[in-house]
Structure formats: structure tokens, C-alpha cells
Amino acid sequence: MEFFMPDRKPDYEINKPDPYPLLCESMRKVVDYQAEHAADAFDTNCSWDELRVKYVEERRFWNEGGPEAFKIEEVMVPGPMGDVPARIYYPDDKPEHYAVVFIHGGGYTVGSNDTHDRMMRSVMAASGCCVIGVDYHLAPEAKFPIPLYEAAAVVRYFQENGARHGILADKMALAGDSGGANLALGLNLYLRDTPGGNESIKALLLYYGAFWLQDSSSARLNGTLLDGMRRTDLMSYLSYYVTPGDMENPYFSSFLNDLSTGVPPIYMCCGDLDPLLDDTLTLEKFMKHFGVPTQVDIVHGALHAFMHYGRMMPEAVECLEHSGAFFKKQLEQ
């Protein structure tokens, strides 16, 4: 008997359902708007320089409106590749505030404090705390672990110099979305394991984090050009940011690190159509196993990065409010 093996390349998209009929009403409004105004914003089939330009233009509309800061201060923090810009959003005129250190997402390759401006202002308003945005250097110019080290430098700077900025550094939260959530969780573990420790970190606010499961059901089912989360997109981001050996670094792939100690209470949210959903659910199970207080919001019919779309999605506003309230609750403990 002669056997035949077809010469076909693997296709990770072939069995994925069309997400459009599954979208909630508000998410569908966002997708329809994007189709008309920014249809190729997340297509990685271009240079990273072009992708950055598209990302900035796409985010401009979504950053309009939302809570207003009483004051914004720009600070330059010394880091391993030169100064790291940090932006402080103050909610009011009180002389002292606790702080949330926010690390933006964008596949480590795109994004800035500007592209995540409304998200940070929303967390500021919900928590009543300052929010400190970390404008880390992007890949491919800065590969792992440089952004991790830069975020650590910002935290250590405010621990040592918080008083001059009205920051109470004994109680802080680390926050981030997508790749920024990956950095926030890895940063907490890195601070735990380095001089100075992480005792001041009282909460993690992780929005649809990429904790890099090697494979998952949600990754097989979800992720299309609608949200720029196809496997080819994810591999593009990774190729810019990490070398193959870094994939098993426990400060990048946090599931390979010891999560039984030094992890504060965690707030998480994710859309149920996000390929990273199982990353969130897996971390939730680990935390419950280790007795870490955890709050998780799973948003029905939402794609990856839905929290940018507060202008059309009340679900995004609610999750941002929940995360701020979660940190406020930890401050009261």
C-alpha cells in the first residue's frame, strides 16, 4: 500500500470561526467604525516603522474624551538605554497620592504614553491615585529584557524620589494591557527577586495579558485581522522583541516562574473572543491555588484591546473603573 502526504504548510487560521456574528453590540460598532476609518491599522504585513504610524493614527480618535487630569507632569528617569520618559497624571490638588505604574501594550513594538492616554486617565479617576505611564524603548531597537529593566528603573526611581513628586511610594500598583500586562507581571517578579524587593507592590491590574502559553484553545479559536491577533501577527511581535532562548525566561514567560510567593492581589479582564483569554484564565487558576485574592471580568463578545474603545463600549469603561476600584480596596486593607 502506498501512502501519500500532501505538501501543505500549516494554517493556523483555517478553522477559526468568523468572530463578527459573535460580537456584542458595542464591539460591533467599534469594528464597523474601524472598517471605515482604520481598516489596516493592525496588519503586521509591513515594516515596524509603518505599523507605528498606523497605530498612532488609529488611537488618536479613541483617546478623545474621558476623565481629565488635574495636572500632568513629565519626568525623565535614568535607564539602561538612556532616559526613560515617565508621565504622571494627578487626579486632584492633594499634596500626596498613591500611584499606579502603567506599562502600555502594543506588542512591545508600537505604542506610547500618548496612545494609552485615555486608559491611564480612566484608571486615575477610578482609583483616585496618580498614574505613572512608562514610555519604555520599543522593539526592535530595544529587545527583552531592556523594557523590563526600564520599567524597574521607573519603579525604583519613585520609591527613592517619590516625595519630590507627591508620590507615596510605600503602596503602589503595577498595571498594563496585553504586552504591557506581560511586562507588569514579569516586573513584579523581577522586583521581588532583586535588591529592594516588591513589598510596596500592593496590586496588579492586568488587562488581557500575554503570558505566553505555548498553545491554548482560545488561541486556536480566536484572533483575526479584526484585532490584529492572528498567529502571524503574534509571531511578528515576538520576532522583534525576543530571541528563541528568551521564550523560557521566567521574567518573560511568567508561568515558568515561582508564583507561589510575592504576588499581590490581581485584577484581570479579557474579552471572550481574545486569543489570550486562556492566559488570563490560567493565571487566575494559579492565583486561586496559591490563595491570592483575584478579581476577573470576562467580557462577552469582546475582542482583544477592547479597553481602548471607551468612546463606544461601556464595557471598557466598566473594566477600567473596576480595576481602579480594586486597587483602592487594596489600599484600605
Residues with catalytic roles:
178, 274, 304
Contact call for residues 298 and 277 (beta carbons, < 8 A): yes
Bridge partners, residue 268, by sequence: 206, 296
Q: How far apart are CA 152 and CA 155, in angstroms?
A: 5
DSSP 137: P
Contact call for residues 241 and 38 (beta carbons, < 8 A): no
DSSP 239: H
H or E segment and range at residue 191 = helix 179-193
DSSP 80: B
DSSP secondary structure string, 58-69?
HHHHHTSSS---
Q: At what angle do helices 25-37 and 314-331 cross, to 10 degrees?
A: 120
